[in-house]
Structure 1
């Protein structure tokens, strides 16, 4: 990867983004055409740049509703089987990871506070804590930024128009209508917003490209102690810190640049930006230079396989790769404890995701029953509540069954032991009843 950062023109097509904003204490949906949610604050007392549009909705007939529900049923069936796959395979993944971590912990060799290159540890799993070191600084010649670190990130934002919209459905003269309020505000955004997708582009045009693009540069060679780190280990160095520009010498700035709040502004008036103005912020991760103004080198803790002078991934018997890096000083026990905790959190997270997929799937499959009675108000409401309760009960029960099946498949001995323990109270009760009958 090149050390220098080049300015490039980045042409992107905007997509739809729904975000929340606060306009005079009213929550609205914000559309900047890219599919994300975020928040913004309009200034009180400022007259909002907005307009309204009313559209009339077509009231679908019974057969049309039934057709739409049929499509949802197909999607629900797909989500249902996807949830089974997620829940079942998650148990195998959790077991493989836990077994691999146990295997690694039983074999790991700690190299001590002063790690050295020892041939007897070749092809073995080792643990060490050492300071990062790189051989050359990362720099951006366009902004005269130089940092001795593993990674240097340039984040570019453009001052652009953003469209917000708030929709309200209502009935009038037997017709279903939607009133949509479109509001426009100017903000610093890192993604390019396509104003051609706005409801009213006139007076709210954004540039079609950014003159500078965001980019992250990585040092070509990174060392910890006497070892060179693999790409997989370098990829885990991600604790970025914003580069402070307070002490940046103004004499190095080009005439079209100014500095304010750790940003380079492509304007001489950073507090009064115009649409199309650009600002740039730098951040770094993994300090790796001695006696730099930014601080001492970053200490990292690594668990990986020693292969000559390199640290690479270690493959366990269970098939899992151990290539672990933490940006702090930790013992081998602490590293593996953190990894076990992460594995547990991931396991429960995927279990929750699998249950949610099943719940949504069952709801979509059973929604056809709600459609069949949608023309009877009281029955419709009762059926809606009943179907939600049914979906909740079914998804909870089936999720537990699938997880249990995963345990039976991946951990048969543990599952058999748990089954025996669960059946023990029933067995004891039955034995007690038989003894009483004999008396």
Structure 2
């Protein structure tokens, strides 16, 4: 099932859109530079805090609470015990002995997908042919059919119930009390089968026929022939026998430890993990986050510069072939600016802490700039000597 729409945008309208895009591009470049600088500061502070914490932490027994360790950074490992039971109060389904319970809901619904083809015409106008296709799929998030290009005949009902997580309030690790949220994400996930009695309670809450289906529920008249609005409901439980923590001892509980630079340390892991292993993992996570933000910042710079230069391509589109050539050139310019400015910003952020790395990044950016200038000079043919 598909629907095709053809639209035409005049050259003047495209110029207006390009001007707006250029303003957005300037803002995006500024935001990307700020994010890169902020990320380097965050990374340095986190690194220093973890190094400081690794030097201060004391491994203690989780079986007893020593008042002498009050306010200190400690490491404990022990058996996790719970007195609470995570429960889906709407349906009365519980996971005895678990630290968390998850309800996953999918609805059979219409999904819209679109594919566009653009063609620049002589004079700079642009013709866009967009094909919208509609298919029925199982999705955990409801697609708002009111936003569809052709909503008629593709209406999605509201979901009667949505996905949700349920955790215990508190748990104990030896003699220490921890928040349920601090252990919920550490457990092993496995399916929680439901029973006929559970089906009866769900039937009272939901409209439509509720059936047992592969350990969960199916809400609809026929599992073999799903209709729009049918639901599939599954449960998973999170079980945790042992856990390790690095945190500040505060009375009978644990809380984040504040280092001298104001960063907080609160580490947790499933099973028995040493303090050294937990700090190594935290440093690895810090490095991963740093590189992910760097990559995102560079992508933001590239998109921002591309938007700034896009107006040149629209101007040249008065003759379609000329527009393609200009866009190639502006794309190359955006890449070069990103390759130069990105490493420069990262180097400035790191300079105070790792001068050797900073100088290396500066050199890399400089080499890129020199290489581009050299290639451009080689591409220009030499002038013939005068006769």
Fold in common (TM above 0.5): yes
Correspondence list, 1:179-258, <5 A? 179-207=129-157, 209-230=158-179, 233-234=182-183, 237=185, 241-245=189-193, 248-250=194-196, 253-254=199-200, 256-258=209-211
Q: Mean alpha-carbon deviation: is it higher for 388-397 or for 264-273?
A: 264-273
- The alpha-carbon distance between structure 1 residues 384 and 258, as it changes in their structure 2 partners (threshold 3 A), is same
Q: Distance in 1 between matches of 2:112 and 2:87?
A: 36
Deviation track 1:188-223 (CA, whole Å, cap 9, x = no partner) reads 22223333334444443332x232233222212222
Are 2:79 and 2:174, in contact at CA under 8 Å, matched by a contact in 1?
yes
Q: Distance in 2 between matches of 1:417 and 1:226?
A: 46
Aligned to 1:405: 348
With normalisation by structure 2, the TM-score equals 0.80
Are 1:126 and 1:305, in contact at CA under 8 Å, matched by a contact in 2?
yes
Correspondence list, 1:255-334, <5 A? 256-267=209-220, 269-285=222-238, 287=239, 297-334=240-277
Aligned mate of 1:133, from 81, 88, 97: 81
Residue 71 of structure 2 corresponds to residue 71 of structure 1: no
How many correspondences in the alignment?
Answer: 353
Aligned to 2:50: 101
Aligned to 1:30: none
Aligned to 2:41: 92
Deviation track 1:339-363 (CA, whole Å, cap 9, x = no partner) reads 1111111111212222221222222
Alignment gaps of 5+ in structure 1? 1-49, 288-296, 424-439
**Cα offset, 1:418, TM superposition:** 7.0
Aligned mate of 2:355, from 415, 423, 428: 415
Alignment gaps of 5+ in structure 2? 204-208, 364-387
Structure 1 vs Structure 2 CA RMSD: 3.1
**Cα offset, 1:171, TM superposition:** 8.2
Are 2:82 and 2:170, in contact at CA under 8 Å, matched by a contact in 1?
yes
- The alpha-carbon distance between structure 1 residues 376 and 257, as it changes in their structure 2 partners (threshold 3 A), is closer
Higher helix fraction: Structure 1 or Structure 2? 2
Correspondence list, 1:158-173, <5 A? 158-169=107-118
Aligned mate of 2:296, from 329, 342, 353: 353
Correspondence list, 1:4-153, <5 A? 50-61=1-12, 64-112=13-61, 115-140=63-88, 143=91, 145-147=93-95, 148-153=97-102
Q: Mean alpha-carbon deviation: is it higher for 331-340 or for 155-164?
A: 155-164
**Cα offset, 1:94, TM superposition:** 0.9
**Cα offset, 1:300, TM superposition:** 1.6
Aligned mate of 2:336, from 389, 393, 396: 393
With normalisation by structure 1, the TM-score equals 0.72
**Cα offset, 1:241, TM superposition:** 2.0
